[in-house]
Chain A
Amino acid sequence: SFALTQPPSLSVAPGETASIHCGGDNIGSKGVQWYQQKPGLAPVLVIYYNVDRPSGIPERFSASNSGNTATLTITRVEVGDEAVYFCQVWQTTRDPVVVFGGGTKLTVL
């Protein structure tokens, strides 16, 4: 079955750039979504279809997807960006299924 691999943690200083990677076999051929989840809250969609931002999501959030790796990039990181970030794809097989990555905890030092 298709699996998405994320590093469990990443630490950055305020004002720096965070790059969160999501690995999967030929993930570049799929549409990737990214969600932000803060403690005690539901996930929030921050990127859909690889590069699109829902309304209300700051331009500091961007993403790319190529080959076997998708990447969420957060520029000028703020303390409020501290959260767990999940990648997600829709796997089109005989029985279509949604697959989530394991999540990356972003700590803003």
Chain B
Amino acid sequence: QVHLQESTPGLVKPLETLSLTCSVSGASMRSYYWSWIRQSPGGELEWIGNIYYSGSTKLNPSLKSRLTISIDTSKNQFTLRLTSVTAADTAKYYCASGVVSTYFESWGQGALVTVSS
């Protein structure tokens, strides 16, 4: 059973960089695709992107210019960095995994991120 746990950055100021780390247990990082998904205060889900253990990524085109997803298999972690954040980036951020890239079998509990000065 894959267990995922997001770090909790909490409050981020506008135009700064949001960084989130997902810690993975119960699974080999080589066996899954690792994803970030966010949920707006209104409840809509938005896929941010994914990464494979090789470092290969697929990123949401709407966020691509501000987005980096990286992986550290030695630490069983993968990381999201989103630059130049605005209030529109306020959301609950989930890390998730799947044996294929097309769906998400396991989810973290989510980390609430608020962008505000």
Interface residues of A (CB under 8 A from B): 31, 33, 35, 41-45, 48-49, 54, 84, 86, 88, 90, 95-100, 102-103
Is the beta-carbon distance between A88 and B103 smaller than 8 angstroms? Answer: yes
CA gap between A103 and B45 in the complex, in Å? 9
State the majority secondary structure of interface residues on A: strand
Size of chain B's interface in residues, with CB distance under 8 A?
21
Q: Is the interface of B mostly helix, strand, loop or mixed?
A: loop
For A102, list chain B residues within 8 Å (CB).
43-44
Q: How distant is B24 from chain A, measured CB to nearest CB, in Å?
A: 15
List, sorted by A's number, 15 A–B pairs whose CB atoms are closer than 8 Å: A33-B102, A33-B104, A35-B104, A42-B94, A42-B110, A43-B94, A84-B43, A88-B45, A90-B101, A90-B102, A96-B58, A97-B60, A98-B102, A102-B43, A102-B44
B44-A97 in contact (CB<8A): no
Given known A-B contacts A45-B104, A45-B105, A86 and B45 have beta carbons under 8 A apart: yes
- Assembly CA distance A45 to B105 (angstroms): 6
Known contacts A43-B104, A90-B101, A100-B46; 7 further A-B pairs (Cβ under 8 A): A45-B103, A84-B43, A88-B45, A88-B103, A95-B64, A99-B47, A100-B44
In whole angstroms, how far apart are the Cα atoms of A84 and B39 in the complex? Answer: 13
In the complex, the answer to whether B102 meets A100 with C-beta atoms within 8 Å is: no
CB contacts (< 8 Å) of A49 on chain B: these are: 103
- B109 in the interface, Cβ–Cβ < 8 Å? yes
A78 to B37, CA, bound (A): 29
Q: Which residues, 6 to 49 on B, are CB-close (under 8 Å) to A?
A: 35, 37, 43-47
B107 at the interface (CB under 8 A from A): yes
Contact residue among A43, A96, A97 (Cβ-Cβ distance under 8 Å from B45): A43
Residue of B nearest to A8 (CB): B43
* Cα A45 to Cα B94 with chains together (Å): 14
Given the complex, which residues of A lie within 8 Å of B107, measured CB to CB? Answer: 42-44
